[in-house]
Structure 1
């Protein structure tokens, strides 16, 4: 079924809608509203969506990206914590996208409190994530919904760089490894300040994750394995300057036990966490589980 074009929001419409419900964007909720239709369509194009996709959008705000998604895919679940914005969004969609309004499911909830029964098998996450909780929200949704195959999120440029960083880079760390557990991560573009209202003080970046098919993943992408792997990653980066033999002694019970596990995994005990790929951490976790 061909989806109709929606009337996307420009700067004037964004301010009118905000004034209508008395919303002043707050830093606490990470609210910066996109007001440039070209940017919206660029983001959606970078997500490489199919009409049959069921997209989760966290923090839809006044509906800029939501409208673009609804002209692209069959189903959108929008998760909004602000009650005024949550109440307004269906009205905006009905007025500006008309017959596609029925394909919007609104979830008025904190994204970090979502459980697996709240959303029916989403296949993609496309969102301008609230900057203050972007990584926790991303990892929470990837953990809950193995049905997600594609992620395209806008975050702070610094966070985007960190998520997509490779081993050996000084900004490579816990978010890089944990995002890489779920799929192939890469930077997918940059977003300037002037497409937002209010304009943030920092640049934004797009991150794309092509998630592993969990039946054919390079390692077990399961809750059980994640529960063993992620604390290991946290321990390895808790004191970045320390060697893994020293950094992981608490995790394994002693420095000698850590060294033995590292050697079994083919990793030098004198190495540091920032030199290990996600695959290396997986191998170490597997050794620890034996």
Structure 2
């Protein structure tokens, strides 16, 4: 009879198991334990003692206690009731107890109280939707995110925000410098996936550009689907043409503008790009002024992105 192979648990897994907390990696739970990275993130947030801080996914509170020491108040949003209990136990009987407000639930679906800045070790599955949720606010964010997401997000953010990314590769388990850590995340096939992370700081431009942000978001998403493609190619995609044609007809109906039933939206989009010299431009080489001008050219012709 062949020997049964027993998969060895990692040292981290054993330590967590002995502490009585088994993290749910299915929802992206990972605990940031390196004190150097925690301290650097808190310092980078430049928290004043009059500010309220939102922390998403506080876990067992390694970063929460540092934030409580700096801020007037910390709102910690945690979806796992087990970790909420651990966090409350950690601050119970300390001067921090009255400064901590815990919100139990999904941060994407929960109505959050007022806060001045967000500092977070974001779970992988919600990194993108949460960052985009904050992007069009006047709030700053300091967060640990997947390095691949951070790199792809730079080009998008740089158009609307001041973005700082510090990404220094380090070996697994040796997070000795601010910027990046390597962690291991369990996936459904019971294998271990190596994930590199980066710390990002995002701040809104002040004053913000004079644009409709929903319109802006729609335009930039189309342009950055393939950032190396020309705009002429990006606006030839069938889903893009259909969406803009629908928006155009709604706009004409609301404004009581007669609609040409034989309108060729593909040709109309191409004409707008050609006349304004945008056809051969690429999203990765354009700056904020280029995108504002492009949005204005489309809007003047009744083309809207929201």
Please indicate, yes or no, whether the TM-score normalized by the shorter chain is above 0.5: yes
Number of the residue aligned with 2:223:
236
The number of equivalent residue pairs is 250
Is residue 47–residue 152 contact of structure 1 (8 Å, CA) maintained in 2?
A: yes
Do the aligned partners of 1:79 and 1:107 also contact (CA within 8 Å) in 2?
yes
Distance 1:212 1:236 in 2: 21
Q: 1:81 and 1:134, CA in 2 relative to 1: closer, same or farther beyond 3 A? A: same
Question: What corresponds to 1:72 in structure 2?
Answer: 70
What SS does the corresponding residue of 2:59 show, helix, strand or coil?
Answer: coil
Distance apart, 1:76 and its partner CA: 1.1
Whether 2:278 is the aligned partner of 1:268: answer yes
Q: Which runs of 5+ in 1 are unaligned?
A: 1-10, 165-175
1:227 is the counterpart of 2:214 = yes
Q: Distance in 2 between matches of 1:41 and 1:281?
A: 37
Asked if the contact 1:93/1:101 (under 8 Å) is kept, the reply is yes
Q: 2:234 aligns with which of 228, 239, 247?
A: 247
Closer/same/farther in 2, CA of residues 239 and 40 from structure 1, 3 Å limit: closer
Unpaired runs of at least 5, structure 2: 1-10, 176-180, 186-193, 246-264, 301-306
SS of 2:102's equivalent in the other structure is strand
What is the aligned-residue RMSD (CA, Å)? 2.9
Higher share of residues assigned helix: 1
Report 1:57-206 matches (<5 A). 57-95=55-93, 98-115=94-111, 118-120=112-114, 122-143=115-136, 146-148=137-139, 150-164=140-154, 176-177=155-156, 179-180=157-158, 182-190=160-168, 192=170, 193-194=172-173, 199-200=184-185, 201-206=194-199
Q: Identify the residue that residue 282 of structure 1 maps to in structure 2.
A: 292
Q: SS at the partner of 1:111? A: coil
| Whole-Å separation in 1 of the counterparts to 2:123 and 2:132 | 14
Aligned CA distance change for structure 1 residues 33 and 252 (closer, same or farther; 3 Å) = same
Alpha-carbon offset, residue 154 of structure 1: 0.6
Deviation at 1:187, TM superposition (A): 0.4
Q: CA 1:123/1:261 → structure 2, altered by over 3 Å: closer, same or farther?
A: farther
Determine which structure has more spread, i.e. the larger CA radius of gyration.
Answer: 2
Q: TM-score, normalised by structure 1?
A: 0.75
Distance apart, 1:38 and its partner CA: 2.5
Could you tell which deviates more after superposition, 70-79 or 180-189? 180-189
The residue number in structure 2 matching 1:218 is 209
1:19 positional shift: 5.1
